Structure formats: C-alpha cells, structure tokens
Structure 1
Amino acid sequence: MASENPDWEKLIESLEYEESLGKQLSVEDAELLNELRRIKEDSASTYVNLSKFNTDKSWIDFLSRIAIEKSLPHIPEEQVVIRKLSNRSLIVKISAAAAIVCMLLAGVFFYYSKNNHEKPILISNVKEVIQPGGNKATLTLGNGTKIDLTAAAVGQVAKLGGVTVIKDKDGQVVYNTVSAQPSAVSYNTITTPRGGQYKIILPDGSDVVLNSMSSLKFPTVFSKNERLVTLTGEGYFEVKRNEKAAFKVSVNGKQEVEVLGTHFNIMAYDDEPLIKTTLLEGSVRIRSDKSSEGLILKPGQQALLSPSGELNMKELADLDQVVAWKNGLTSFSKSDIKSIMRQVARWYDVEVEYRPGIPDRSFSGDIPRGSSISSLLKILELNDIHFIVEGKKIIVMP
C-alpha cells in the first residue's frame, strides 16, 4: 500500500526548502520542481474525483498513487536535502508519471474479475458508435409541420399569425408575440429524442428546459386566466409570475402542477417507478387524477406520485442533484445500477441488457454529460460492475 508521504513529495519538500533558503535553483532543478508540483496537483484532483464514488477508500488511495510510485526511483528515507537532481532519466520518468496521472483523471481505470471470460469493452468501438447527447429537438406546429431545430439556422423558424418563433444564437427557441391581437390560438409541441435536450422560452416569458425523451405541448398564445402546458418525460421550469393567470402543467394525464411563479423540476418518464416533482423556489400545488386536494410544496420538498395514484412528500437535502442534468452533469446519489443505466440509456441513446447476478449496491457521483460512455462505465466498474459493449447495446454483468 502507498505510504502516507511518498518519495516524490519528499523531492518537492527538498527543492522548496532550497528555494526558501534563497538559493537559485538550476534550470533543470526548477524544471523538475514544476513537474513534481503538477504531479501533486493532478494526483490530488484524481483522488477528489474518485472519492465521490462509493469505493473502498484504501483502493482509491492505492489507485491515485500507484502510477507515480511505480514510475519513480526509491529515495532513501533519511535523505532530506537532494543537491544533485540533474539526472535527465529521472525527469523523463517523472514526466511519464504525470502522463499516467492525467490518464487516471480521465477515468482510465479498467479491471475485471478473474472469473469474467466474456469479451471486454472495446474502447475504439465505444467512441465511434456511442456518443453523448446534445442540443436536439423537433418542433411540431399546429398545422402538422415539423421543424428540425437541431439543423435550423439561427433566426426566425416560423411565423404563426401574430407570433414569431426564433432560434437564437444560444440554440434555444423563443416565442415572441408581435401583434396585440394574435390570430386564433394553435398548439405547438417541442420533442427531444434520446440523446437530446432543449430550452424553450414560452410566449409568456417562462423558461423550460426539456431533458431527453421528453415533450412539451403549449399554446402559441396563453389565455388571460390560465397558462396550461402538457409535459411528458422530464422538464425544468422557471415560470414567469402572473397572479392573474396560474401556470399549470399536466403530467402524463396523471398529475397537475399549479403555480403562479416559481422554479421546479418534474421527472415523469414511463420507465421510472415514480413521478417526481421537486420545488426549488416559490410554491406549487400538486394534484393527482385520484385526489382533488393534493399537496402544497415548499422549497426543498419533493412530491412522489406512485402508479396507484398515491401522493407523498419528502424533504430533499441535495437539490443540485435533481437538476444536475440541466447543468451538464449525469448525477446519481445512492442510486442502484438500474436507475443509473436508465439515465445512460436516455442520454447516450443505447439499449441496456442485464445479466443475472448483478450485485445490489448503491452508487453516488457526478460526471459531465459530455463525457464519453467509456469514462462513465469505467467509473462504475470501480464498484465491481462490468460491461460488454456491442454496437449500441450495453450489457451489464456482475
């Protein structure tokens, strides 16, 4: 196991000690010190990144140091000050160690059970076939016309009576009312595919971000008394306050969320066991199709609707985890592997298959949504879960 104070840290201490005495380091010594400091910084970052996951600490500590210690020569314990550090081979070895640390930071930890006789992940195939999602959506107008927002140029993409639909430079869709008396109201639907998300600014100025495999149906002009939209999948809402017209979200025909002005997230995928409505700011009322009374949420609370129509509420300690997806992260907190892989399937547009004997354990961690699928899978493998990738299918194995 790695020592508490490895040899390469002693080298840093020695050189920094000479600096503190006011001595001018040679060019090679200064180069060596900079290289060692970079290794120390990268190693610390690696340890912090890995320690977010439910992995045995001693194993993490070993992984975060072994690449460096295997690449450096042994320095005697009693050697406090090193005066001759101009050995070029030592610098080469340290540079190689730094490169290994960078690989560790990228998540290149890859090991298998001795009893695993199946084909391992082929990294080259994974990168070519499976890609992370991005800004993708289709807008369906009231007359049935479909507009591919991913391919559409910046500027006006449609005109609907007194309303213009614009794709701005940030890649989001904005509805602008340009006439005091718009023509008859029609309904538009924005839909994201697997591996897609999109932001839309509704006619009332409210912001909605749709996660992958989601849709939002809304009128081109809201009425004076009510603002009603229909959601499937997952969406994050920042609702423009209007006390005269409540904002209502109909969710999968099973739940209605009513607000005046607030920030909240609704997760309502068909393959998830519960519909989850989480309040970040303001106040919302939740009603199920089997209950007229419902619940009133305060910030930090989450409503849970079961398939049977039972509505419950719980307090949340980590709101950031709920909306991590809109902030560019794949996030999981004490989640089982199937819950995580449902996120993976939607964002990376893959099919997931499970082999018998998957261990029942929970995972916690964050990884940028732009990360390669191989980086994510390798992190999960630190917990003794293994994968085979066949085209766009991921097989989960014990």
Structure 2
Amino acid sequence: METNAGKYLNRPIGENEEELLDEIWNSLPPVENEDQILDENYRNVKQRIHRHTLRRRVIYISSSAAVVCLFILLLFRPEAPEKSPVFAQLNDMGVSICEQKVQFMIGDSIVANLNTSAKMNVDQNAKMALQSATGEKIILKEGKPLKIYVPAGKRFDLELADGTHVWLNSDTWLEYPTTFASANERRVKIEGEGFFDVKPDATKPFHVEVPGGESIRVLGTSFNVSAYSDNEENITTLVTGKIEYSIPMRTEAIALLPNEQVRVNKTTKGVTKNEVNTSEFAMWKEGVLYFNDEKLPVLAKQLARMYGIEIRVADKYNDACFSGMIRYERGIDYITKLLTTTSNITCSIENGIIYLK
C-alpha cells in the first residue's frame, strides 16, 4: 500500500512542499509495522528538500520560559540589504533608528563619512590614499593611526594597503596604519566583530589585537573575531590557514586549525577550544543573523546592533533561548511577530524603544 507520504518520494520537490511536510506527516494515520519505514521516508524527504535549495532554512525556536519547542520554516530571499524597506518599516512602527554614518578618522579627528566600502591604495602621484566606494579620495600621510568606526545598523568592507580584506560588523572599531611598508609586522586593533582575509606574507606576520591584551598572529589565513566590549567572551573562529591566539598571563599561545574556535571568558579568563561549523560565524557578512540556543537578552542585543535600534527584554525572559537564522531584510516587524506568536512574549513600542515582555 502506498501512503500519502510515499507519493513524495519519487516526484520533483515543489516550491512550497517543504512548508507542508511536517503538517502532512503528522496528519498521517498510524500504519501497522511501518513506523520504521515511515521514519526513513520522512528523513529521506527532508534530506532531499535540504539538498534541493540553500535559500530555505529551518528555524528552530525553543522557549525555556514557556516550554515551547517548535519548527518554523523560513524563506530567505537573496535581496540586497540596500534594496530592502527595513528603515521605512522601522519608521512606520515608530522605532528610533541610529542615523550615525560610518566614520573615517585620522588620529582622533573625523575626516569623512563613508558608505559601504573603501580601499587603501597608492595614487598616480605615489601617495597613499583611501578610495571610497563613492569615488572620494583622501590623501594620507604616515604617522597617525587610521580608524574606522561602523555604527549600529551598518556593515563595512575595507581593503588594507597590503591587500588584506576586512569585513566589519555593526558597532565596530578598527585601527590600522596607513601602510605596512616600513614595519616588520602588520598590526591592527579591533573592538567589535570583523572577518579577516589576510594576504599571505611570510616576512611580515599579521597581528590582530583585541581588548584585554589578547592578540591573534597569522601569516595568511581567514578568520572571524568577535570582541565586543559588552560581551562576556572574545570569540575567534578560524576558516582557513592557521593562527595562534595569545592571552596575557598564559605562556603558550593557542594554535587553531581550520574549523576550530577559541572562546575566552573576559571575567574568569577561562578558555575553551572547540570544532565548529565556521560558515555559521561569518553569515553576518551576507546580512544573515545566526543564533544557536541563544538567550533572548543576547539575541536582542544582536538584533539591536543589526538594525541600529534599542530593544529591552523583561527579566522574566532572561533564560528564554532561541535558535535559527534570520535575514536582514525580513525586518524587525517580522521577527517580533515570530517571537510573539510562538511564545508568551508580547511586544510593545514606547518612545522609539522595543520592549519584549
């Protein structure tokens, strides 16, 4: 006998069938002696759906406060953040938005506001310059450190003078020199989150300094570092190559290989090193927020940085945990509705601030 579910096994997977699979499967009548077969068929269909498209993702939401566990399937569209009506939506909701621009500084002086990206290069007169995405050119002299500040609600791409590419996340500071030509090493400082694709140079190791005296030494590699001042941990995730992570008061550096991550608790100085799926920790570059069993206050902080807004969480939901992926253009209205319809959380907006209570 062919069950309704069995009909799915040998047919093309349609555009919306994955959204109906769980509902259909749960509605099937019990079939004697076929539980194992059904389970295998179910897994087979789910695997085929997963292989069929990378644009659709499953968000698993668990609320320990409300003891809620359920799956919600989301459709992610590859629309660029610049084209999305996110800010218009926030304005319509009455939410206050951070209007600050990306700042380029020489020393402590703001020199220019930048758009989405910039590149350090040598101009036709052999002078170092910062070339912005809009065509603006700023001639530079060696001496004072250069700084980029990316405010909440923004992301920024920067190519350094040596060809190293740095992606900077919201609410992030990067300090770097005009050129590395006269130095024995390449050294930069970051506070916030950045993804580094370091240009190989065996004669000049690349160092990234993070708050707390910690530093990362590389020759040519790609990695993500998250070192926000208000986070409990500094987290570094290696994608390719090899790095050494140094911590004050620790005599030996921690060596990381691809797909490994080191976490340093800033209060206890405890260190953990694990294997991870590195792609999950660089999704923010593409405008995707990934969170795995994240407590609601931490998730709210990530959303606040992502959109340049303020979110406050009631104390009773401090232990509510959520997992999933949300694309930037989904917007806060979608996300808050998702939270409120799948848990006991309510959402209100007062004086431009979002309250989850």
TM-score (norm: length of structure 2): 0.71
CA shift, 1:136, in A, is 5.0
The runs of 5 or more residues in structure 2 that have no matched partner are 22-48, 50-55, 77-87
Question: For residues 43 and 253 of structure 1, what CA distance do their matches in structure 2 show?
Answer: 50
Residue of structure 1 equivalent to 2:226: 267
Pick closer, same or farther for the CA change 1:131–1:60 going to 2, 3 Å. farther
Aligned residues: CA RMSD: 4.2
Pick closer, same or farther for the CA change 1:347–1:391 going to 2, 3 Å. farther
Residue of structure 1 equivalent to 2:275: 316
Question: For residues 324 and 50 of structure 1, what CA distance do their matches in structure 2 show?
Answer: 13
Matched, 1:44 2:15: no
CA shift, 1:218, in A, is 0.5
Question: For residues 313 and 393 of structure 1, what CA distance do their matches in structure 2 show?
Answer: 36
Matched, 1:306 2:265: yes
Q: Which residue identity does 1:54 align to in structure 2?
A: I
Question: For residues 57 and 198 of structure 2, what CA distance do their matches in structure 1 show?
Answer: 37
CA shift, 1:183, in A, is 5.6
Pick closer, same or farther for the CA change 1:133–1:246 going to 2, 3 Å. farther
Q: Is contact 2:297–2:318 with CA below 8 Å preserved after alignment?
A: no
Residue of structure 1 equivalent to 2:145: 187
Matched, 1:394 2:350: no
CA shift, 1:150, in A, is 2.5
Matched, 1:228 2:187: yes
State the aligned residue count: 302
Corresponding residue to 1:162 among 127, 140, 157: 127
Corresponding residue to 2:105 among 119, 140, 164: 140
Pick closer, same or farther for the CA change 1:249–1:301 going to 2, 3 Å. same
Pick closer, same or farther for the CA change 1:291–1:146 going to 2, 3 Å. same
Residue of structure 2 equivalent to 1:114: none
Alignment deviations for residues 57-76 of structure 1 (CA, whole Å, 9 cap, x no partner): x9968x99xxxxxxxxxxxx
Q: Which residue identity does 1:42 align to in structure 2?
A: N
Q: Which residue identity does 1:389 align to in structure 2?
A: I
Q: Is contact 1:224–1:244 with CA below 8 Å preserved after alignment?
A: no
Alignment of 1:1-398 (within 5 A): 41-42=15-16, 44-45=18-19, 51-54=58-61, 127-130=92-95, 137-142=102-107, 144-150=109-115, 162-168=127-133, 184-222=142-180, 223-308=182-267, 310-358=269-317, 360-384=319-343, 385-397=345-357
State which drifts further: 275-284 or 288-297: 288-297
Partner secondary structure for residue 371 of structure 1: helix
CA shift, 1:105, in A, is 6.0
Q: Which residue identity does 1:186 align to in structure 2?
A: K
Question: For residues 124 and 106 of structure 2, what CA distance do their matches in structure 1 show?
Answer: 10
Question: For residues 343 and 286 of structure 1, what CA distance do their matches in structure 2 show?
Answer: 25
TM-score (norm: length of structure 1): 0.64
Structure with the bigger percentage of strand: 2
Pick closer, same or farther for the CA change 1:318–1:105 going to 2, 3 Å. closer
Question: For residues 228 and 389 of structure 1, what CA distance do their matches in structure 2 show?
Answer: 44
Q: Is contact 1:189–1:215 with CA below 8 Å preserved after alignment?
A: yes
Q: Is contact 2:262–2:274 with CA below 8 Å preserved after alignment?
A: no
Question: For residues 220 and 294 of structure 2, what CA distance do their matches in structure 1 show?
Answer: 31
Alignment deviations for residues 130-168 of structure 1 (CA, whole Å, 9 cap, x no partner): 489999511112482420012999999x99982021123
**Percent of paired sites with the same residue:** 26
- Greater Cα radius of gyration, structure 1 or 2: 1
Question: For residues 109 and 258 of structure 2, what CA distance do their matches in structure 1 show?
Answer: 39
Structure with the bigger percentage of helix: 1
Question: For residues 143 and 352 of structure 1, what CA distance do their matches in structure 2 show?
Answer: 30
Q: Is contact 1:208–1:235 with CA below 8 Å preserved after alignment?
A: yes
CA shift, 1:233, in A, is 0.7
Question: For residues 134 and 370 of structure 1, what CA distance do their matches in structure 2 show?
Answer: 18
State which drifts further: 185-194 or 225-234: 185-194
State which drifts further: 146-155 or 228-237: 146-155
Q: Which residue identity does 1:166 align to in structure 2?
A: Q
Residue of structure 1 equivalent to 2:26: none
